[in-house]
Amino acid sequence: MQYNRVFRTLALALIFSLLAAIAATPALAANASLSPTSGAVGTAVTVKGNSFEPATAVFIYFSGDSALVGADITDLEAYEQVAAEASDDTGHILIYFDVPEKLDGEDVTSGTYYVYTSYTEEGEILTTDTFTVVGTSISISGTSGYVGDTVTVSGTRFAASSNVTIYFDSTSVGTTSTDDDGTFDDVTFNVPSSYRGSHTIKAQDASDNYATATFAVGQKITIAPTSGGSGIAMTVTGTGFSASKPVTIKYNATAVTTTPASINTDAKGSFTASFIVPTGLAGTYAVEASDGTNSASANYTMAINITISTITSAASPGHVGMSVTISGTGFQPDSKINITYASVPIAVATTSSDYTGAFSATFKIPKSEHGNHTITASDGTNTMQASFVIESTAPATPKLVLPPSDEKAKSRAFLDWENVTKDVNNADELSTPVTYDLQIASDADFTNTVLEKTELTTSGYTLLKGETLKSTKKEAPYYWRVRAVDAASNAGDWTSSRTFYVGGSDWGLYCLIGAGVLLIFFLGFWAGRKSKSSEYY
């Protein structure tokens, strides 16, 4: 019995000790976690927690201000209640909320924010967790390209109605403004001069909110011209190469002599140089530039080409008789080259191309009308043309000499005028020789022309036997005039007309002269006979 009392006493003591220990153990603190822990405005967030008072309302707050457990929600400067829901019978919570757009009227932008729990509205803070808002973001139309390419930038979740500046690295390349939702669309810029590799595109608003994207610049070259013949200067422009590096240029896989002789990229990987296109057959050839690590190429189309030694135009024309040298490249090698001139082709030269398809020939511009003409070179397969302009300056007006005005002339009259020459010292007046047009009419308007001669090579003319003029009275004379025409068919002004008349038939005069001669002969013969008769007596 004594043992039983002792056992009961120990058991009771143990029970009371356990009850006291349980009473002395504090309740577990509430705890919570977020999923996800970062995201943009509007992101759905799950708050999961335990050790809350069972079946008790739990309020969720979102704030940009940091606070410790035990502080009051009202201690925060800006906060927003985003959810409220009761814990279950075991003290667990599973509550959802969306990241708000504003806190006390201010935009929620990128940065660190805090999520708090409380048992009462604006009460004591039970738990605290952090949430990172990915506020601003931009999208670009492409992530790689070349200097000069167009890039389009759009952005969201920036400050509302704010100015935004777009930067390529540290260079401002554009500006825009956001709308009421902090969004901007389709700001375009051209990639500025920059070296090969990755670069940063940044959009930044007036509140210093910004977002970035990466753009990779590659190397390229452009050539000008992209087609033509040999012997012309080609300009090569390179961008996107390594900075401050020596550059070599090759044409058709062969290094060329450039201007400047030594080429280096600048601090932004750009360069400009030129070289003379070598002689070659028609075709496509690669132009390549390399900085030793990076290279780029462009194609040049070698076409058949001709050049003439003197470039003419309406403002600076050539002339008949001018010596012209025509040169060509890209033709068939070792081929006969025929060169013709004018719209109705006149063969002016024949030569042969060399093994590279190049040729050269010299000829004089033949007699042809003023204006535009075509010089053509052909190897039978390839044909190329160039323009040549003949001057249009007319020669001076001649001065009439004989017969004097209103004087009598023979029926086969001799008409004379002063010679006209084009000034050989004037490049606009060299289409020689000069010829003359002559007209004789029976009226002052030259509507009734009785004689017309063209292309007279001397400054005078005697009517031929078949051109004898009829006798006229002085009151009804003949009218005549002259003009000068050069080898380019430039006709000068007609002279003022002169008049002359033709007397009786020249045959009557000849008869009178003949009768006079016979009379003198007869008188002489008679005088001689009479003298002999006197001797007999």
pLDDT at 72: 95
pLDDT at 298: 97
Model confidence over 59-74: pLDDT tens digits? 999 999 999 999 999 9
How confident is the model over 363-367, as a mean pLDDT? 92
Model confidence over 424-447: pLDDT tens digits? 555 445 788 899 999 999 999 999
Cα 346-352-358 angle, rounded to 5 deg: 105
| Secondary-structure class of domain 220-302 per CATH | mainly beta
Q: Where in the chain is the domain with CATH 2.60.40.230?
A: 305-390
For the record, the structure tokens of 254 come out as 């062969």
Q: What is the DSSP string of 406-472?
A: TEEE-TT-EEEE------TT-TTS-----EEEEEEESSTT-SSEEEEEEEE-SSEEE--GGGPPPP-
Tell me the average pLDDT of the chain. 87
* CATH fold of the domain at 305-390: Immunoglobulin-like (2.60.40)
Q: How sure is the predictor about 238, in pLDDT bands with cuts at 50, 70 and 90?
A: very high
Using H for helix, E for strand and C for coil, what is the string for 249-314?
EEECCEECCCECCCEECCCCCCEEEEEECCCCCCEEEEEEEECCCCEEEEEEEECCEEEECCCCCC
pLDDT at 535: 47
Q: Where in the chain is the domain with CATH 2.60.40.1930?
A: 137-218
Backbone angles phi, psi at 278, to 5 degrees: -65, 160
Q: How sure is the predictor about 529, in pLDDT bands with cuts at 50, 70 and 90?
A: low
**Beta strands at 127-133 and 38-39: parallel, antiparallel or unpaired:** parallel
Angstrom distance (rounded) from CA 311 to CA 324: 10
CATH number of 137-218: 2.60.40.1930
pTM, full prediction: 0.54
Round to the nearest angstrom and report the end-to-end CA distance of the chain.
243
Angstrom distance (rounded) from CA 217 to CA 193: 10
Q: How sure is the predictor about 293, in pLDDT bands with cuts at 50, 70 and 90?
A: very high
pLDDT at 25: 42
Q: Which CATH architecture has domain 400-504?
A: Sandwich (2.60)
How confident is the model over 6-13, as a mean pLDDT? 52
CATH number of 31-133: 2.60.40.10
Q: Is 125 helix (H, G, I), strand (E, B) or coil?
A: coil
Model confidence over 479-522: pLDDT tens digits? 999 999 998 899 999 999 999 999 864 445 555 555 565 666 66
Which residues pair with residue 140 across a beta bridge?
Answer: 153
The one-character DSSP state at 73 is G
Q: Where in the chain is the domain with CATH 2.60.40.10?
A: 31-133, 220-302, 400-504
